[in-house]
């Protein structure tokens, strides 16, 4: 084990707020660095340090950690899952950008965390039909409107038909529905009878 690794382990043992800040700032280099900097044993050690450390971190440090890990594919999956469930100020970058989150993890966040978490997921690029359906089932009108405005989100035909029917009651769904390239013409034609004159011109 090289001296850099040993110094980080020593910092982890120190257990002070200062040492946690230094650790948070430096430990990420090992995950963001080019492949091969860590061998398997060292990566396992660093996974353990990070996963244990994050539970003791101040909110500001968890925010910084989340920002730095959101774009990397080499972070410990358990850490990404923890950050996704954290306060929304911490979770936001992970929910918006991390490719390490699977559908089932996103759905757990949708079901058990806050509206703000749901809004982040609704804005995430390329979410699946399963995730979209969960947002529709568990989110309020603001969440659904945000989902409809996300043109990269996959929405099933059944869900789309449901939202078209709901748009009669919730007018904020109408414009983003009609702006979607995946809205079938048959569903758009149904909306003709209850949308405004300005929106009828888009049908």
Tens of pLDDT, residues 121-174: 999 999 999 999 999 999 999 999 999 999 999 999 999 999 999 999 999 999
- What pLDDT, in 10s, does the model give residues 23-65? 767 767 766 665 556 677 777 777 777 777 788 788 888 998 8
- What pLDDT, in 10s, does the model give residues 57-83? 888 889 988 998 899 887 888 889 999
50 φ/ψ angles, rounded to the nearest 5 degrees = -65, -45
Angle at which helices 40-54 and 17-32 pack, to 10 degrees? 140
- Nearest-angstrom CA–CA distance, 147 and 96: 13
CB atoms within 10 A of CB 116: 14
- Nearest-angstrom CA–CA distance, 170 and 142: 10
Contact call for residues 64 and 24 (beta carbons, < 8 A) = yes
Q: Supply the pTM of this predicted model.
A: 0.86
* pLDDT for residue 108 is more than 80: yes
Contact call for residues 26 and 8 (beta carbons, < 8 A) = yes
- Nearest-angstrom CA–CA distance, 119 and 163: 17
- Nearest-angstrom CA–CA distance, 178 and 185: 9
């Amino acid at each position: 084990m090289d001296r850099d690794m040993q110094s980080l382990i020593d910092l982890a043992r120190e257990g002070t707020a200062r040492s946690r800040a230094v650790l948070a700032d430096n430990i990420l280099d090992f995950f963001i660095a080019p492949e091969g900097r860590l061998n398997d044993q060292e990566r396992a050690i660093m996974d353990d340090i990070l996963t244990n450390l994050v539970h003791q971190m101040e909110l500001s440090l968890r925010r910084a950690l989340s920002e730095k890990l959101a774009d990397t594919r080499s972070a410990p999956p358990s850490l990404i899952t923890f950050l996704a469930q954290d306060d929304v100020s911490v979770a936001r970058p992970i929910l918006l950008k991390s490719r390490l989150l699977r559908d089932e993890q996103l759905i757990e966040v949708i079901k058990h965390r806050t509206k703000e978490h749901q809004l982040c997921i609704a804005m995430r690029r390329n979410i699946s039909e399963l995730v979209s359906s969960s947002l529709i089932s568990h989110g309020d009108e603001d969440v659904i409107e945000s989902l409809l405005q996300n043109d990269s989100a996959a929405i099933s035909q059944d869900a789309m038909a449901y939202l078209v029917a709901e748009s009669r009651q919730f007018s904020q769904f109408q414009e983003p529905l009609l702006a979607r390239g995946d809205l079938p013409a048959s569903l758009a034609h149904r909306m003709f009878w209850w949308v405004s004159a300005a929106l009828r011109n888009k049908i």
